[in-house]
Amino acid sequence: MRQTKKKATPTGRGVRSAPSLKSARVSKKSRSKINAAETLKQDKNGLEVINDIPNYIRDGWESIPPNERDRLKWVGVFFRKQTPGAFMMRLRMSSGFSNSDQFRAIAEISEAHGPGFVDLTTRQQIQLRGFTIENVQHIWNRLEEVGLGSLQTGFDNIRGVIGCPVAGLTPNELFDASQVCREFTKLFVGNKEFTDIPRKFNVGITGCLDNCTHTASQDIALTPAVKEIDGEKTNGFNVAVGGKMGSGGYTPAQPLDVFITPKEASVLCGDITLIFRDHGPRIARNKSRLAFLIADWGVGKFREELERRRHRKQPLLTAGKDARGKKKTDHTGIFSQKQPGLNYVGLVVPVGRITTTHLFEVARIADEYGNGDIRLTQGQNLIITNVPDAKIGDLTAEPLLQELRYDPSEVMRGMVSCTGIDYCHFSLIETKERAMEAIRHLEAKLGNTKPLTIHWSGCPNGCGNHAAADIGLLGKKTKIDGVVTDAVDVFLKGDAGANPKIAPKLLENVPCDELPQVLEGLIPYLSRR
């Protein structure tokens, strides 16, 4: 069904224009040296693709020039080479905060225009699949009604801001940092000051003491800390910068020796992003992340530049006392909230793929047993919040909780998988179904194990965070007896929390067909938490 032509808008919020950016960006003269992505950004601001949407809706997906297919990612619409004409849309949900109205809208959209399921991602967001360009405006309109948008969720933009999904609810937090995630998101979404940065940019902001968020892999990591200011103990964040997972592999963020109060934190994140915009490398695509600017300048120079940029404000404070504990959590299970008599219930969504039937059911359950809030985790799972003690028994007896379990096996609980070959053309192997096969095998052979995380990435881009898992699986092709075979390299004991550790490679070229047996042999010798 074609939609009527009207001015396209993915969020209903106006796009703010940028004053001329005083920056060290590449001049037209030196374009010969820069990569295609830079040319794309110089030729036209990515957000302006919004003006072309009515034409694409009228003329169909084949009319979209290849460059513009990339530019569509500024409005969160992704052309998929695996399924030409069937698009993906990524929805922004800071700290993974959502609710039953949003789940119902997403389910309706996926049922009407998609394949009847969506994916929960490791940035606590949702990816809609399988819709035609003709329906994009209709989808945006429906999303806007429930306060959702897709702006700037792909390409060289600030991605969904991650944070503790039970911020404001868990007793184990220094303070509720979700407001800072929202403030920072409000600062840059629709703001052209932030839409021409050298590369993707990941930000994690958390007050959780239980290390539920992969902060060390973020370009900016704000973690809970305490500092004495004017004789008073003040809660706030320590700041680390330059973490990444891709572009040559995992580089943990480096401490900047800065303490910032929650009130000032979103502006500080903005200032750091603008330093990256103005000084970040733009020549080689695989060397353009903030980590490379930090490597070039050193943390000291970066801190000086940040201080200079804030010259009219207070000088930067040195780091406070790190408040994070040693424990790690994923918030799966039933836990008391800080609000007396209330609980949150973390449910596992196997490999993050959830059907529309289940989305509707989750929405009903969130309304019936909680206050309608639903939170998404970095482990591709979800949480129902504000469930009174008296309703816990009935909630756990709901048939849905036999499928999305609060008490899964440990292998099910810790399994994360990137999209894989069905929808991602980079993928060298199928991932989600293979992960499910491994879960079924390990549950049958090992029963319950000690807690562990197993993360799959279908290619070296590493979207499944395989370098930060207890067991990391990286998809590849290998030749066995002359036959090209799906395989993985196996990495062990990575960590992107308070004690970052890059996982070393343990095994190479393990055929996927043999992997369940290999994991069965390996897992009894691993332990954690």
Interacting residues with ligand SF4 (CB under 6 A): 418-420, 424, 426-427, 457-459, 461-464
88 binds, among ligand SF4, ligand HEM, none (CB under 5 to 8 A by kind): ligand HEM
Q: How far is the CB of 472 from ligand SF4 (least distance, A)?
A: 11
Q: For ligand SF4, which is the closer residue by CB, 92 or 455? A: 455
Residue 396: how many other CB atoms lie within 10 Å: 16
Helix count and strand count (H, E) for the chain: 15, 20
Q: Confirm if 351 and 185 have CB atoms less than 8 A apart.
A: no
For residues 115 and 353, give the distance between their C-alpha atoms in angstroms, rounded to a whole number. 12
Indicate whether 123 belongs to the interface with ligand HEM (CB under 6 A).
yes
Shortest Å, Cβ 90 to ligand SF4: 12
For tokens 């090992």, the residue is: 446
Residues 159-188, one symbol each (x = binds ligand HEM by CB under 6 A, - = not), give: xx----------------------------
Cα–Cα dist 270/194, whole Å: 8
CB of 466 to ligand SF4, least distance (A): 8
Any residues with CB less than 8 A from the CB of 216 and at least 6 apart, and which?
240, 243, 252, 253, 468, 495, 496, 497, 498, 500
CA distance 414 to 348: 9
DSSP code for 32: G
Task: List the single partner that 459 binds among ligand HEM, ligand SF4, none, CB under 5 to 8 Å by kind.
Answer: ligand SF4
Binding mask 353-382 for ligand HEM (x = CB under 6 A): ------------------------------
Out of 458, 462, 475, 494, which one is annotated catalytic?
Answer: 458
> By beta-carbon distance, which residue lies closest to ligand HEM?
246
Cβ 458 to ligand SF4 shortest distance, Å:
3
Q: In this chain, which stretch among 28-36, 66-74, 102-110, 457-465 interacts with ligand HEM, using CB under 6 A?
A: 457-465
Binding region for ligand HEM (CB under 6 A) out of 115-123, 182-190, 328-336, 352-360: 115-123
d(C-alpha 462, C-alpha 459), whole Å: 6
Containing 58, the helix (H) or strand (E) segment is helix 53-59
Site string for ligand HEM, 500-529 (x = CB under 6 A): ------------------------------
Cα–Cα dist 222/240, whole Å: 7
Could you tell me how many residues make up the chain? 529
Among 3, 94, 125, 453, binds ligand HEM (CB under 6 A): 125
Q: Which of 71, 200, 289, 432 is catalytic?
A: 200
Give me the helices (H) in 285-355, please.
Answer: 290-297, 299-309
Sheet containing 373-376: which strands, arranged edge to edge? 97-99, 373-376, 382-388, 342-347, 333-336
454-457 and 471-480 beta bridge pairing: parallel
Q: Is residue 213 close enough to count as binding ligand HEM by CB under 6 A? A: no
SS (HEC) of 281-305: CCCCHHHCCHHHHHHHHCHHHHHHH
Q: Which stretch binds ligand HEM (CB under 6 A): 34-42, 333-341, 422-430, 484-492?
A: 422-430
Asked if 327 is an active-site residue, the reply is no
The answer to the question of residue 246 lying near ligand HEM (CB under 6 A) is: yes
Indicate if 463 belongs to the active site.
yes
> Does 86 interact with ligand HEM (rule: CB under 6 A)?
no
Residues near ligand HEM (CB under 6 A) are: 80, 88, 90, 121-123, 125, 127, 159-160, 245-246, 419, 423-424, 426, 461-463, 465
Catalytic residues: 90, 199-200, 458, 463-464
